[in-house]
Each structure stands twice: as C-alpha cells, then as structure tokens.
Chains A and B, each alone.
Chain A
Amino acid sequence: MRPATEAELAEAVAGASGPLLVRGGGTRTLGHAVGEVLETGGLSGVELYEPGALTLVVRAGTPVTEVERVLATERQRLAFEVPDLCGLRGRKGVSTIGGVVAANASGPRRVQVGAARDALLGVRFVDGAGIVIKNGGRVMKNVTGYDLAKLMAGSRGTLGVLSEVSFKVQALPEVEATLVVEGLGDEAGLKALRRALGSPFDISGAARHSGRSLIRVEGMAGSVAYRTGRLRALVGGDVTVKESAASAALWREVRDVVPFRGRPGEVWRIITLPTAAAEIVAQLEAEAIWDWGGGLIWLLTDHGRGAEVAAAVAGRGHATLVRGEGGPVFPPSTPDVAALVAGLKARFDPRGILNAGLVI
C-alpha cells in the first residue's frame, strides 16, 4: 500500500486486516518485522518553509535528498547531519525524512547540536487504530502537553506511522575546518577528542579512525581560524588542517561509516561513555570508527560475537547490530522499562499490527 494523503494513510491502517510493515525508503530498517508493506513515499512535499524562523514542515515520505535540496536553496541544512548507511548495509532505496525521525538517525554534529529528536519540533502520525494524532508544532519552544514527538523519534514505526514532521533547521556556516591529528595511539587520540570537547571552542565533530583523530569547527571565518589555532596547541600530535570540501569529505566518511563498506563481518553501533571507548574496543580486539568523541563506536567484528559485545558494553552503554545476524538486533531493556514499552505499544497499537515482531 502506498497512500498519497494522510487521510488515505489513516484509512489504510484502520482497514488493515493483518500486520503492516511500515516503510519509508527501507534504508534504515532493522529487525525482522513482518506484514503487508505500507510505504509512506506517497506522502511527499514541503508543507511550510520559513527560512527566517529556521522552520521546516515536511510530509514524512519526502526524500531526504529533496529536503536537503530545498534547504540548500536558502543556504540552510538539517543540523544533525543525516547518515546514509545504504553503502554500509548494502541497501538500495530512497531514504525518507520520516524514516530518519523513526530511526532518530543523527551524524557527527550530534556532539554540538543534539540528535534528530532535538531538532524535531512536531509530528503528525496515524496510530495503530488509524487515528490521526498531532503533537508539538512548528515553534521552537513548546511545552504544551506531553512531548509525544520525542516518543515517536526512534520508535521505528511501532507506535504509529508518521505523516508529517517539523524541524528547527540551521543556517550553513560560512566556513568549516578539520584538524587531522596523526601520530597518537587510540587511547591518546581519543583523549585529544575529549580535551577538545571540554574546551570552549565549540566543536561540531570529534571522531577517530584509521589512526587519525578528526576535530571539526564551523562558523564565521575569523572565528574558525582563531579556534583552529587554539585547538592545534591544545590537542598535541601532528596536526594538519583541512578546509571546505576536503573537510566535508572527511566527515561524510565518518557519518556514513565508509571504511567498513564492502568489508566482511558484522557491524555494531555502540553507545557508551567516551572514557570507556578505547577500552571496549581493545577488549573486543576489533576494528573501530569512533564518533561523538568516543560516545559512538562503529565496530566491525567476526560473525557470532554478540554475547562478547554485550558483555563488554554492559553497565556502560548499549549495542545495536546494524549489519549481520550475530545476535538480537536491539539491546534488551530492564523488565520495568520493558513493561512500560509494552504498555505504550498496547495503547498506541492495540491490535499489534504496526511493524509486528519488532521489539525495541
């Protein structure tokens, strides 16, 4: 099914006789939900764009590339830097903005501006009974009623099918620059990232892979030059500075986990404390790409090491399998939290038809 309007979407869900597999572009899907495919790609287009208020309201099935194109015409962007994991996961498809929200997919700039959920101002969605619900809105400060927009972000279509999302967007910076730090081991290289993030120099990216630490600053030309200079002195190691397109290319690699593309093995996405980042990787003796100053680890492992990964992360974060078959996809919840999640699922989707079988 591919509804073209929110009303058709509501009708499709209300009239469904069995499970529905909710899909934007199918590029970020995890797990093994089953059912008749319900595509949101028909709900496409910009509802409202007000560059002077940094506000964008867009239908959930709009391709991410289209959103980015519209914003670029006004020299603006989605601040949270949408990752494209198609190459990593060997997927094809047109990523939709609703899918980005449903996965709360956020890239390197998360350390500075927060995740997709932090840029999300409001949602419209159809719940499992086919009822249209709106929450939040288009203004930047809004505490009217409960924040269901946050609940929908990252819920992977298990509570409702998004029909419209609104965002706070960001003006493009005048310039960007990346310090490339070489000559440090992983422990020291990660420490350099933490030192930069603990400085007042407003870091918009802090990553490490292939023996290099990357630190990004963005903004007005004078400011970027100033901060680059101060950071060079602060982090140590052999520093070179890449600017503009050369800098942007470095961050696309990190954002899209390019170094693991086409490589055999399973890929884990680990959320942890930056200070635990080196140790977890050392303990698992696997290849890593660190982002968010070490708070995010992309880990390439052999098949079947799920239990080891879970043990290494236990008590200091959580791990999700994003490519491979080596264990449960999502980390387990505590029984109390699982009961709350089950309670919400039962009320938002009483028939249990939305992405049935997906437990997050």
Chain B
Amino acid sequence: MEQFQYQIIFFFVLLILGYFFGRYFEKKHYKSIIKREAKYSNLAVIAIKTVPLSEPVKPSILVTGSVVISVDYFKRFLAMLRTLLGGRVTAYETLLDRARREAILRMKEEASTLNADKIFNIKIETSSISNNASGNIGSVEVFAYGTALVNVN
C-alpha cells in the first residue's frame, strides 16, 4: 500500500504545479490580449456577408487567425469532477474565451499588415484536440477567418 501513498503525493504535486503555472500564464495572456485589443480597436470586424453599398470598391482578401491552447492539470481535473455532478464548467470558459480572442487578434494582425481596416463575414470554428485514446481532451483549436478590404494607396 505504500505505492498508493506516493501516487497520491505525485497527484497533488501535479495539481499544485498546474494551478500556479496555469494561473500565471492565464493572467499574462489576458493582459496581452487586452493590450492588443485596444491597439486594434479601429479595425472593424463585422459578421455580415454583404458589404454595404456605401463602401468604396476595394480589393478583398481572405485573412485568417488560429491558435491552439491547452488547459493545465488542475483545470482538467476540476472539469472531470464537474462532469460527474453536472453544471457549468467554469474552468473551460476562460480557456475558450482566451482562444477565441487570440484567434481574432491574430486575424486582425494579418489584416493590418495587409493594410486593411475592415474585415467582413467573420466566421469562427472551434475544434477539440484529443490527446489520448480515452478521449481525454485538454486542448482546443480556434480558427477565425473573414474577408478583409485592403486600402490601396
């Protein structure tokens, strides 16, 4: 029964590592996201397909942004417990929020390097990445794409 004790200790070490590093990375990421969102706030992202007729005619190009983010051990364990009892999985809400905003920001960055200031018909795809056979999913890929209207000078 001694190995049992060591298993439990190992498990707690992983949990603690996951908790502290996870929180640190998440805070850092959110700071970066908020800063960049402020920088690109003038770049219009519109979820409508038809460009208004009032817009001058400009060349259009598809722009995309994607990111894969993984969740730490602590959050994964919390989510597993939650699937036993049901309800909102708060641990994963921040994961998806971060991933989506990051993907949209990367799309905006690409549009901005192409000297565009409007992106139309933005669509977002989310898929989960499985990391072992039992379907224990810990990471999420978010892919954002739209058509940018490029300013020709």
- Asked whether A and B interact, the reply is no
Give me the interface of A with B, judged by CB distance under 8 Å: none
